Amino acid sequence: MELWFTEIHTPNVRFSIKVDRQLYSYTSEFQRIDIFESQEFGRILTLDGLMMVAEKDEFIYHDMIVHVPMATNPEIKRVLLIGAGDGGAVRELTRYDGIEHIDMVEIDKEVVKACREYLPSLSYKLSDPRVHLHFEDGLKFVRTRENEYDLIIVDSTDPFGPGEGLFTKEFYGNCYKALKADGILVNQHESPYYPEDALAMNRAHQRIKAFFPICKVYQAHIPTYPSGHWLFGLASKQYDPLKVDLNRWERLGLHTRYYNTDLHKGCFALPTYALELLEHGEDDDE
């Protein structure tokens, strides 16, 4: 008998991974949490049936969501990390000795508990003394913060369910307020390929542009995400990621499996169809 994890990408497209066994399943107050073991991608975490992380390709996503902003401003000391319950972003952030404080705001403590037990290769740095875990809604948490962070990373689920509030104008405006004068906001920015993802990407981009003077989007190929073509947003109050001295990052001597400073320059060069989708967004009143 064969077991398969299948994610519905569109009504006409499904993505399946053959699994050897299911390691965990639990329904928290926020979502269904499943962890599977697979030959091709190692262990995979899904939330409400949607792929979150896979051991074999998570290095791509976590390299790109952390090292692009860190190379843009290697002086980053205080970080707000929203979502990120698997611990992968924390693992990469804690490689920087210059980072002094990380507030990690994850709405669902059950995700952290499951990842601590079944995904240690991602979650093993959650116990770093610089990491301060807050099990609450990132939308509410950021309302009370002002001029506090050098970097905010939004490593959230998609814009529905618990993650919906993390794609609103209110949230991005509060992120702007919570950032210092040279602060940077990075978010998982969905994808230009399938219509639903492209709409979410476009809405997020229009809303972020309403607050930040510098708004750029960069890309990576993530095999386990819908279409594989995944985007990240980088919004900045002062630093342009393409006009900084990347030798400062090189001098840190960090080895990264996906990110490098040539890729840093290249990943912001997007296909025409993605640029057109980003540029011709409809304003909304969200």
Sheet holding 42-47, edge to edge: 3-10, 13-27, 32-38, 42-47, 50-54
- CB 115, min distance to ligand SAM, A: 8
What distance in Å separates the CA atoms of residue 230 and residue 210, rounded to the nearest whole number? 22
Nearer of residues 162 and 192 to ligand SAM, judged by Cβ: 162
Nearer of residues 140 and 248 to ligand SAM, judged by Cβ: 140
Nearest CA to 82 among 12, 15, 178?
178
- CB 170, min distance to ligand SAM, A: 12
Q: How many CA atoms lie within 13 A of 209 on its CB side?
A: 16
The backbone region for 276, taken as left when phi is positive above 0, alpha when psi lies in -120 to 50, beta otherwise, is alpha
- CB 112, min distance to ligand SAM, A: 8
Residue of 86, 155, 158, 197 marked catalytic: 155
Which residues contact ligand SAM by CB under 6 A?
A: 30, 47, 52-53, 61, 82-86, 105-108, 111, 137-139, 155-157, 162-163, 165-166, 188
* Structure-block tokens of residue 89: 């972003």
Nearer of residues 47 and 99 to ligand SAM, judged by Cβ: 47
| Cβ pair 126, 87 in contact under 8 A | yes
Nearer of residues 141 and 268 to ligand SAM, judged by Cβ: 141
| Cβ pair 241, 216 in contact under 8 A | yes
- CB 102, min distance to ligand SAM, A: 14
240 counts as catalytic: no
Active site (catalytic) residues:
155
